Amino acid sequence: MVIVGFRKDIINDESFTFQLDPPAGRPNKIGDLLEPTVDAKYTLSDKMWGWIQSHTAKHQALGHGFSYGLVPLDGVTNTLTARYYKDGKEILIPQVGSNPRRLTPRECARLQGFPDDFKIVCSNTQAYKQFGNAVVVPLMKDVARLVV
């Protein structure tokens, strides 16, 4: 969520509208951001995948919000959070003939708008936390442009 506000004693312009459309050429589907091949370590184990599914079913029966996000390759994702390193349940990539997988740290960087030459110089756990806490840089540039 992005909230834009102006002090009326500085700028009293009620014509401001907050409308952002995805710019042409910028990836806007998860499939556009995925690496062609990834290490098997990103695939959920049978135990983890089973736990996520059973935990979701239990909470849905109780009317709670716990769930997982299995993202179609032509779809958009849930929000990347700093807890993504734990089980990756918010954004899971389906795989044919296998359990879903987590995003790689590089894919998380792309999702947050970081360029491919951005160096990830920490552990995967720390990278997941950092990208989950990051703002989406291209979005913030677009918001700043609208404000100006």
Is residue 39 one of the residues assigned to a domain?
yes
Q: CA nearest 46: which of 54, 36, 56, 57?
A: 54
> Token match 């089973």: residue?
50
| SS3 (DSSP) at 119 | coil
Q: Does 139 map to a domain?
A: yes
Total count of domains within the chain: 1
Output phi, psi for 131, to 5 deg.
-70, -30
Give the integer Cα–Cα distance in Å for 8 and 23.
30
Let me know if residue 3 belongs to a domain: no
In a domain, 14, yes or no: no
Q: Is 13 a domain residue?
A: no
pLDDT for position 132: 93
Instruction: Look at residue 68 and tell me if it is in a domain.
Output: yes
> pLDDT tens digit string along 4-21?
888 888 877 777 777 766
CATH of the domain at 42: 3.90.120.10
For residue 141 the two structure tokens come to 């540039």
Mean pLDDT over the full length of the chain = 88
CB 134 within 8 A of CB 118: no
Structural contact between residues 71 and 77, judged by C-beta atoms closer than 8 angstroms? yes
Residue 4 included in any domain? no
- The tens digit of pLDDT for each residue in 7-65 reads 888 877 777 777 766 666 666 789 999 999 999 999 999 999 999 999 889 988 888 87
Per the domain annotation, does 9 fall within a domain? no
109: containing domain: 30-147
